Structures are given as C-alpha cells and as structure tokens.
Amino acid sequence: MDAVIDTLTGQLIGLIRHKAITETDLQAAALFTLDACANAIGGRNTEAGRILLRWSADHPIQASSRSFVTGALTHILETDDLHRASVTHPGCVAVPVAMALGAKRQVPGVELLHSVLHGYEAMCRVGNAVGPAHYKVWHNTATCGPFGSAMTAASLLQLTDVQAQHALGNAGTQSSGLWEFLDTGAMSKHLHAGRAAESGLLAAELAALGFTGPPAILEGKKGFFVGACPDAIPARVTADPKAPWQLVGTSIKPWPSCRHTHPAIDAGLELHTQLAGRAIRDVHALVYQAAIDVCDRPNPQSEYEAKFSLYHCIAAALADGQVTFESFNPASRERLSGLRRQISATVAEPYRSAYPDSYWGAAVRVTTQDGATLTVDRRVCKGDPDAALSREEMVDKALMLMRHGGLATETAQQLVEAILALPSNRADWDVLQRVFI
C-alpha cells in the first residue's frame, strides 16, 4: 500500500497530524511528562520495581527495553495520570516511549513534546470508543496503550502517514491485558503498562523498515472492536477533531490509590474536617458501578489491595485527613480495620449514569455516635482538569516521588528543571537520562 487507506486509523493519524499545537499545549505536555518521569523514578522503590530493575540489568539497554521497564515502573505507585473518558493512564505509555526514543535520537524539546501530545491523543481517542463492556474484562491502559505508544514513536521516527497506519495496525493486533490479576493482587498491571509502551514502539520501528500492518485494525470484521469491545462506539475515535488535546483533559492523581477511589477520598477529607474528632457510628458511600467492580475490598490483605479498596481509602481520609504512601502499610491497615468495617458502599444515581463521560463521582455520608449526619458530594475531585493541581503542586509531587525513588534532592531538582525547559526547545539529555537506571 502506497497511500493511506480510509479507515479509522488513517483518519486518526490525519486528525492528529493536522491539529494545532500552542505554547500552552507544550507547557501542559511538559508538566505531564514530568509527572510520568517522576512516577517512573518513584516506582523503583517497590518490590515490583526492584524485580523489573533486576530483569533490566540482565538485558541489553535498547529503546524498546527502556520503554518497557520505564512504562511498568511508572504505573506501580498508582500516582500516574488518568484520562477519565477513556479510563486510561496515558502517561505511563506515551512518555516512556518518548523518553526512550528521545534519548536514543537526542531530539529537541519541542519535538519530544509533540510526540507526547500525539501519543496521548491516539490512546485516549481509541479508549473513548471501546465502550463500557470492554472495561469489565480488559484493562483499557493495556489494550488502548499500544495505539498511543505507536503514535508517539511514529512522531519521533518521522514515519509517513502510510507507515504510521502500518504501525497502528500492528500495535492494535498486540493489544492485551486482562483484569484477572485483581483477584490475587498480582503484579500484572505493571506489566500491562510496560508492554503497551513496548508494543507500539516495536510496531513503529518495524513500520519504518517496511513491515506492514492491518489498516482496519479497529473496525475490521476481525479487528479490535469486534474481538474485544461488544458495545464499541467507533465514531468517538475521530469525534470533535477541533477539541482541545486529550492531554489537557487528563487528570493528575494527588493520592496513591486507584483513581476510582479518589472522589470518595476527596469527600472523606472534607468530612474529616467537619467531624472535628467526633466518633463515627457508620459510613455509607454512593458510587458508580466500576468503582465497585474494581475496588470492592472491605478487608485488604496487602498494600496493593488496600490501594484498590474503597473502604480502606475512605477510612484513611476520614481518620487521618490525608492519604499518603504510609496509609497503605501493614500498621495503617490494622489501625483502620475497625473503621473499615463501619463503611458500606452501593451504586447509586447520579454517579452510575454520569460515569465515565460526564464525571467520576461519589458521595460519602457519615453518621456520628451522637446522631448527626454529614454528607459530602464530589463530582469533580482534586487533580481533575476542572480542579487541576497548580504548577507548584505538580513540581512538589514530582520532587516527592523522585526522592521516594532514591534521587538526591539536588539531582531531582536538576531533572525537574530539565523537563520543564523542554518547551523552550532545550533538551539536556545528560540530565534527562537520569529518568533511566
């Protein structure tokens, strides 16, 4: 094929490559790049992270292996970004590919940021279209991620539109990633992110050499939507082409837990202040179905299970007025076990119908021992685009994660400054390389 075939991937490539990029978009892309890089560094200081680093020590350092390990590390701490409409974590897929290829090719800062914007756009637009039934079995970050990583790589490799269509076709045929790991708290979720990053990069590198892929991988009779998305909405892939970049509609996570817990955490933090130490009789949360599907763990037995427990996250917010890494350790799980038993959750309107297109919401109602009832509703929570973290808060979060991952304060500060300088077209790769081990 020597011309782009009119399929959804062909249309998506054209939409992305004709979309204007402003200085504001570049600044936003730099902040999201910073957040992902900081998460990757922070992820080193975990059991799963140490296993990944041991694996990488025995394998040649190529762009593909770097993107795999960095992508997996970025997703471990549950503090990476989240795009609500697509229910994907685009930063852990697009940014590792951009950084790995960027380092290999020593690209200028603006070129790197363009590739990040392109990757987010492709991943999120495909995610917007998969439909809610897909998410019940498939992990959207894993399945939609290869499209994002392929588009990121296509930008940096300067693939033609035809080559990019091959890349997206072969990225999509590698889509995988099942939720089964949740039942045991296995480490598969991190593998999902790493493989999503690596698969798209592989597809793009092969496309640059003439390796062909299916042009109708999304909507074809034996394509992605037919195979894994029973209620797909294909038109969403290219809907509203003049909308802002998907990246600027992405949430940044201020708390280290599953994003489905965040509306309830935000409500719980406000209730902590209102309670002012009064004893709690019972707590009830009103949520949407996916929050129950993914986070219905009243008695978490591990740190990872606690991060996917509505009950534990609400208990930490109510009792402590903060949710940090320490909120999920064995001592905190034991200390909060009594309060967890007082918490219940049900699916209710308007949260059920609003998710995921309108908002991810929750209400938390507390009844105190003296009979008072306090209720807080959250339809937007801290870190969402409508309640975004400030630039200063983003930098503080990044520095915290980098220190958690073992970087000295001075080294972390240098890396922050180098990433935030990317919109000026400076790319100090001697410093930026510190994202990698």
DSSP conformation letters of 313-359: HHHHHHHHS---GGGGSHHHHHHTHHHHTTEEEEE-TTHHHHTTTT-
- Looking at residue 247, what is its pLDDT? 98
> Residue 87's closest CA among 366, 359, 353, 406?
359
Q: 3-state class of 218 per DSSP?
A: coil
- Contact 318/339 with Cβ under 8 angstroms? yes
The CB density around residue 15, as the number of other CB atoms within 10 Å, is 18
399-402 long-range contacts (CB < 8 A, ≥24 apart) are 399/38, 400/42, 401/38, 401/39, 401/41, 401/42, 401/77, 401/79, 402/38, 402/41, 402/42
Question: In whole angstroms, what is the distance from residue 282 CA to residue 279 CA?
Answer: 9
- Contact 71/96 with Cβ under 8 angstroms? yes
> Residue 384's closest CA among 237, 241, 196, 255?
255
For the chain, domains (ranges, CATH) are: 8-254+387-435 (1.10.4100.10), 259-381 (3.30.1330.120)
Apex CA 152: angle with CA 212 and CA 384, to 5°?
135
Burial, 19: exposed, middle or buried (Cβ in 10 Å; 0-12, 13-18, 19+)? middle
Q: Any bridge partners for residue 346, and if so which?
A: 286
Buried b (16+ CB within 10 A) or exposed e, 163-200: bbbbbbbbbbbbbbbebebbeebebbbbbbbbbbbbbb
- Looking at residue 1, what is its pLDDT? 60
Is the dihedral angle over the CA atoms 420, 23, 78, 429 positive or is it negative? Answer: negative
Quote the crossing angle between the two packed helices 91-105 and 23-42, to the nearest 10°.
Answer: 100
Here the tokens at position 347 are 């699916």
- Looking at residue 163, what is its pLDDT? 98
Query: Residue 373 CA to chain centroid, in angstroms?
Result: 35
Q: Give the pLDDT of the chain (437 residues) as one tens digit per residue.
A: 679 999 999 999 999 999 999 999 999 999 999 999 999 999 999 999 999 999 999 887 788 889 999 999 999 999 999 999 999 999 999 999 999 999 999 999 999 999 999 999 999 999 999 999 999 999 999 999 999 999 999 999 999 999 999 999 999 999 999 999 998 989 999 999 999 999 999 999 999 999 999 999 999 999 999 999 999 999 999 999 999 999 999 999 999 999 999 999 999 999 999 999 999 999 999 999 999 999 999 999 999 999 999 999 999 999 999 999 999 999 999 999 999 999 999 999 999 999 998 999 999 999 999 999 999 999 999 999 999 999 999 999 999 999 999 999 999 999 999 999 999 999 999 999 999 97
- Contact 247/32 with Cβ under 8 angstroms? yes
DSSP letter, residue 384: S
Which residues are CB-neighbours of 173 under 8 A, at least 6 positions away? 213, 214, 217
> Residue 32's closest CA among 130, 115, 101?
115
Amino acid identity of 289? Q
Which element (helix H / strand E) includes 122?
A: helix 109-129
Tokens 């520095």, located at residue: 399
Query: Residue 49 CA to chain centroid, in angstroms?
Result: 17
Helix ranges (H only) for 130-288 are: 132-137, 140-156, 161-172, 188-208, 224-228, 262-275
